[in-house]
Structure 1
């Protein structure tokens, strides 16, 4: 019952998901992408792998050559139908490993907003998120990979979530983000926020006003997904 959380940025961690995973019996181990990568035996052997977000592009292998090994590990793990969860960059890497295109979106999508669930999404674990704001923070997007099922969209991002069987889930958004812990995001992504024209005090105030609602909904979603794993 080991969960390996593959981290691409120190403050983009498991957030509110950490307690849910611990309560479900998982021993959590963080690994730093590009610094302490997973070996192939770890990709195959972990009970759960969560690939977290980050500011690099899934397709920028020339600049970040370690992405190639990460994609290969994901490809191996997904072929074995082992439990895998991807968040933002993690979802993009999963899509790429499965043969789908990852590419720049029409613009940045940053801030709190609910996702729109399609029929498949309403029948999935994402139903626990319906109507609840989640954090969006991305400039890239992905096509739904072969064999994947589209679950959610927003007006600016048609592909927000996909599932692959019962073992894999890729989410473009950040349900794990805790509104009460938004400040490291505002500091760490300061340049991106300024370039995107985001009102930082307004985003901070919006986060504070949300209270615990997003964490409660996210915990219910993750609990439901863990319960369906083979």
Structure 2
């Protein structure tokens, strides 16, 4: 297996996905879009993971590589690659598939529950407390199935075909990746209904084992 991933900022890595890939004997390669790396040939990988980042999918002026990246994601999906997008990655997938991406009714930052949607494939548990760090959300692309939602009424994921999954939330979170977000994006921790303090987020570390196991199960279930 060849797993390629797209990185948007140096402080958002693969988290527990890296260990899953190593355990499955995968060769891991990366495009650091923020550093100007070139995107790979589609034939060079089997799985594509599109990670998160603090930018928005429409920030083409500041991050012109977003245009080519979205085109590349669509090409990977059309080529029947297994594609997993996380947070910004899911938003980029939604946009590439023609769905609208826009600011959600509330920012969600911290540990909050999600619920699997009725009729959705059992790629995730029916209910799970997961780590969030996002302000934007997306409509479900045409032809996709809504995977999950959350209390603020936000779409939390979708499944397109049998190989493409967009997750608005983070199941790959480790103590280190959570701390990196707190250190680099802490200015977003304002007083709001669905924004936890850094102290509250650190207290939620008890959920990491459960969400990491769910992430592994999802990756195992994809072809």
Query: Which residue number in structure 1 is paired with residue 122 of structure 2?
Result: 124
Query: Which residue number in structure 2 is paired with residue 209 of structure 1?
Result: 203
Query: Which residue number in structure 2 is paired with residue 222 of structure 1?
Result: 216
Structure holding more helix per residue: 1
Give the TM-score taking structure 1 as reference length: 0.86
1:192 matched to 2:188: yes
Alignment of 1:146-165 (within 5 A): 146-165=142-161
RMSD: 2.2
Q: Distance in 1 between matches of 2:104 and 2:93?
A: 17
Q: Distance in 2 between matches of 1:18 and 1:8?
A: 16
1:12 matched to 2:6: no
Query: Which residue number in structure 1 is paired with residue 141 of structure 2?
Result: 145
Query: Which residue number in structure 1 is paired with residue 64 of structure 2?
Result: 65
For residues 35-79 of structure 1, give each alpha carbon's deviation from its aligned partner in whole angstroms, at most 9, with x where no partner exists.
2444351x4431111100001111222332110110110111111
Which 5+ residue runs of structure 1 have no aligned equivalent? none
Alpha-carbon deviation of 1:212?
Answer: 5.1
Asked if structure 2 preserves the Cα contact closer than 8 Å seen for 1:141 and 1:157, the reply is: no
Q: 1:181 to 1:118 in 2, by over 3 A?
A: same
Q: 1:220 to 1:108 in 2, by over 3 A?
A: closer
Which 5+ residue runs of structure 2 have no aligned equivalent? none
Q: Distance in 2 between matches of 1:157 and 1:22?
A: 36
1:176 matched to 2:189: no
Asked if structure 1 preserves the Cα contact closer than 8 Å seen for 2:7 and 2:34, the reply is: no
For residues 145-167 of structure 1, give each alpha carbon's deviation from its aligned partner in whole angstroms, at most 9, with x where no partner exists.
11111010002143100011111
Structure holding more strand per residue: 2
Query: Which residue number in structure 2 is paired with residue 114 of structure 1?
Result: 113
Please identify, of 184-193 and 164-173, the stretch whose mean Cα deviation from structure 2 is larger.
184-193
Q: Distance in 1 between matches of 2:56 and 2:128?
A: 27
Alpha-carbon deviation of 1:29?
Answer: 2.1
Q: 1:56 to 1:64 in 2, by over 3 A?
A: same
Asked if structure 1 preserves the Cα contact closer than 8 Å seen for 2:3 and 2:27, the reply is: yes
Give the number of equivalent residue pairs: 221
Q: Distance in 2 between matches of 1:189 and 1:145?
A: 29
Asked if structure 2 preserves the Cα contact closer than 8 Å seen for 1:17 and 1:222, the reply is: yes
Q: Secondary structure at the match of 1:124?
A: coil
Give the TM-score taking structure 2 as reference length: 0.89
